[in-house]
Amino acid sequence: MEKRPVAYQLYSARDEAAKDLDGVLAALKKMGYDGVEFAGFYGHSAEEIKALLERHGLRAISSHVPFAQIEADMFGVIAYHQAIGCPHIAIPYLDDATRPGSIGFGKTLAVIHRFARLMKEAGLTLLYHNHDFEFVQISGQYGLDFLYDAVPADLLKTELDVCWVKYAGEDPAAYIRKYAGRCPVVHLKDYVGVKGDTAPYALIGIDEGEKKDTQAFEFRPVGYGCQDVQSVLEAGIESGAQWFVVEQDLSVGRTPLEAAEMSIGTLKKLGLK
């Protein structure tokens, strides 16, 4: 298998990073991670973040920025990421009022168009990170595909999260190949459980439905759940992925950093690293 760099989504170890970002970065580098994806900066200035990354030899490859923050301060968001050398910004989540199928989705598309154009002018790339709710039907196609049809590929790239693609009932490898040439960053996430059991968003503090009394949904380290990780990696490489990002929203039975080491261990065994 061709080698690719691997980053870690710091949201996965958010409590640890909030207390000791320097220590978390040091641990990730020791494990073999090449970069990180941010989901907030824990009160640090751009200069401080850049210095921490340089100290540990890690790259900021992407950053999840709340949609409301993007809408409120497009130029400020761009300037911060330019300052830390982060080439990608991802829209990580859309709430009920802004997501595909909502009354506000038209406005969402307008905001994405404007921000994506500004990012392109600044030499950055906008990504969209999906969940499963984008797999609602809009005009005869999934909301996720509607979004990617509505915004040109030169403005908006994919950051396909393979957990939510599979959870929605689609094949992650096939979906990556569907967007070949448009998928610079692929999110690796593993889990157990099926759609309709314990509400998955409730596990990360977003209650979006009644919990079912069946096998519980649970996030797992990469290679320890239901994903065919090798097929995902092969599809990503064939489709032009530049980076793979390990994310685990919640770690059960072990610390987030212990799970991070298990995940990159899987990727090493499969020959990605």
Residues β-bridged to residue 38: 63
Q: Is residue 168 part of a domain?
A: yes
What are the tens digits of pLDDT across the range 248-264? 999 999 999 999 999 99
Q: Is residue 97 part of a domain?
A: yes
Higher pLDDT, 217 or 134: 134
Residue 216's pLDDT band, with cuts at 50, 70 and 90, is: confident
What are the tens digits of pLDDT across the range 229-239? 999 999 999 99
Q: Is residue 190 part of a domain?
A: yes
Cα separation, 21 vs 42, in Å, equals: 8
Per-residue pLDDT at 57: 98
- Percent of the chain past pLDDT 70, that is, above it, reads 93
Whether the per-residue pLDDT at 116 is higher than 70: the answer is yes
- What are the structure tokens assigned to 233, written together? 């990696």
Per-residue pLDDT at 193: 86
What are the tens digits of pLDDT across the range 26-42? 999 999 999 999 999 99
159 φ/ψ angles, rounded to the nearest 5 degrees: -130, 80
Per-residue pLDDT at 215: 53
Hunting for tokens 């090798």 — which residue is that?
230
Which residues span the domain enclosing 171?
6-269
Query: CB-based contacts of 153: which residues, under 8 Å, 6+ apart?
Result: 181, 182
- What are the structure tokens assigned to 83, written together? 């300052």
Under DSSP, is residue 7 helix (H, G, I), strand (E, B) or coil?
A: strand
Residue 12's pLDDT band, with cuts at 50, 70 and 90, is: very high
Cα separation, 219 vs 190, in Å, equals: 6
Residue 213's pLDDT band, with cuts at 50, 70 and 90, is: very low
**Could you tell me the sign of the dihedral formed by the alpha carbons of 175, 181, 182, 188, in that order?**
positive
pTM for the full model? 0.93
Average pLDDT over residues 99-110: 96
Choose the weakest-confidence range: 114-118, 182-186, 197-201, 259-263: 197-201
Whether the per-residue pLDDT at 56 is higher than 80: the answer is yes
- What is residue 61's DSSP assignment? E
CATH number of the domain where residue 196 is located: 3.20.20.150
Q: Is residue 234 part of a domain?
A: yes
Per-residue pLDDT at 5: 98
- What are the structure tokens assigned to 152, written together? 């040109």
Stated length of the chain: 273
Q: Is residue 158 part of a domain?
A: yes
For all residues of the chain together, what is the average pLDDT? 94
Return the ∠ at Cα 21 (arms to 15 and 26), rounded to 5°: 120
Whether the per-residue pLDDT at 74 is higher than 50: the answer is yes
Q: Is residue 112 part of a domain?
A: yes
Under DSSP, is residue 203 helix (H, G, I), strand (E, B) or coil?
A: helix
Q: Is residue 1 part of a domain?
A: no
Per-residue pLDDT at 198: 57
Neighbours of 92 (CB within 10 A): 22
- What is residue 161's DSSP assignment? B
What are the tens digits of pLDDT across the range 137-192? 998 999 999 999 999 999 999 999 999 999 999 999 999 999 999 999 999 999 99
Residue 203's pLDDT band, with cuts at 50, 70 and 90, is: very low
Domain count, the chain: 1
What are the tens digits of pLDDT across the range 77-96? 999 999 999 999 999 999 99
- Percent of the chain past pLDDT 90, that is, above it, reads 90
Q: Is residue 194 part of a domain?
A: yes
Q: How far apart are the first and last CA of the chain?
A: 9
Q: Please return the burial class of 127, using the count of CB atoms within 10 Å of its CB with bins 0-12, 13-18 and 19+.
A: buried
Cα separation, 147 vs 153, in Å, equals: 10
